[in-house]
Amino acid sequence: MIIVDAHQHYWQPSRGDYGWLADAPEALRAAFLPADLQAQRKAAGVTASVLVQAAPTEPETRYLFELAQQDAGVVGVIGWVDMEAVDVEARIDALIRDGNGLLCGLRPMAQDLADPDWLASPALDRAFDCIQARGLAFDALVGMPQLPALLRRLQRQPALRVVLDHAGKPSIGEAPIALWANWIDQLSAHPQLYCKLSGLLTQLSGTTHEEAIAPYAQHLFASFGSTRLIWGSDWPVLTLRASFEHWLRLAQTYTERYAPGTQADVFAANAVRCYALKLDTHS
């Protein structure tokens, strides 16, 4: 079976534009580059991956295009653009050109912004219109504080193809599941919204056992079904809790438990469809 990792990162801290790493665990402050992942990915049986931005700069997106040339497994890049720039359309077009077919989506780091309502700002309408017109996906890197604004954006632009990163980052083992589940129910009512089955291990609080993820996975399958869930590793952030292969096998276990017979969709076909990846999942 072809497996696509729809969410992984590479980064080089010496570039100087990964500000969030200053407050990250020390284990993440190193460089993570193609040579650090390729053997693990091959051993786990993962065919291809989508590389996701980790710095809020357009030069970092172009750096990812360069790294993709060193890693034949990368079939798409989700980049960053200044969505408030007056020339945002030209900036997006330039990234599409420079990516030479690799750019498949854009992701602002909304979870790190002071204004939780930023995603709903009318000042972003032109950027969202351009993302939609260019056939790109919008990756929503949000936590619970930003979910109301994301919902308002979906209501205003129902045709926008959106991917909810890391299931909206629930606090597993720390906060009641009900509030998160209510937001997931409202968001999943929008048929153009996909959700990543990713990042859940690192959402576990303290010493909470990984089996605490099960009711969250069950709710995701109940809300999105097997046609709008997309698996991603979130490597190397994943390494704070588990190995690449461990999370893959755990996600496969949950998929077989809550949506038997749908592995090909969750682990490949949905990502290919959502991001319009040039990958034949039937080969």
Q: At what angle do helices 177-188 and 214-224 cross, to 10 degrees?
A: 20
Predicted pLDDT of residue 182: 97
User: Along the 283 residues of the chain, how does pLDDT read in single tens digits?
Assistant: 899 999 999 999 999 999 999 999 999 999 999 999 999 999 999 999 999 999 999 999 999 999 999 999 999 999 999 999 999 999 999 999 999 999 999 999 999 999 999 999 999 999 999 999 999 999 999 999 999 999 999 999 999 999 999 999 999 998 899 999 999 999 999 999 999 999 999 999 888 899 999 999 999 999 999 999 999 999 999 999 999 999 999 999 999 999 999 999 999 999 999 999 998 776 5
CA atoms within 13 A on the CB side of 65: 19
Which pTM was predicted? 0.96
Q: Are 168 and 147 in contact (CB under 8 A)?
A: yes
pLDDT, tens digit, 9 for 90 and up, residues 46-104? 999 999 999 999 999 999 999 999 999 999 999 999 999 999 999 999 999 999 999 99
| Domains parsed from the chain with CATH numbers | 4-275 (3.20.20.140)
Predicted pLDDT of residue 283: 55
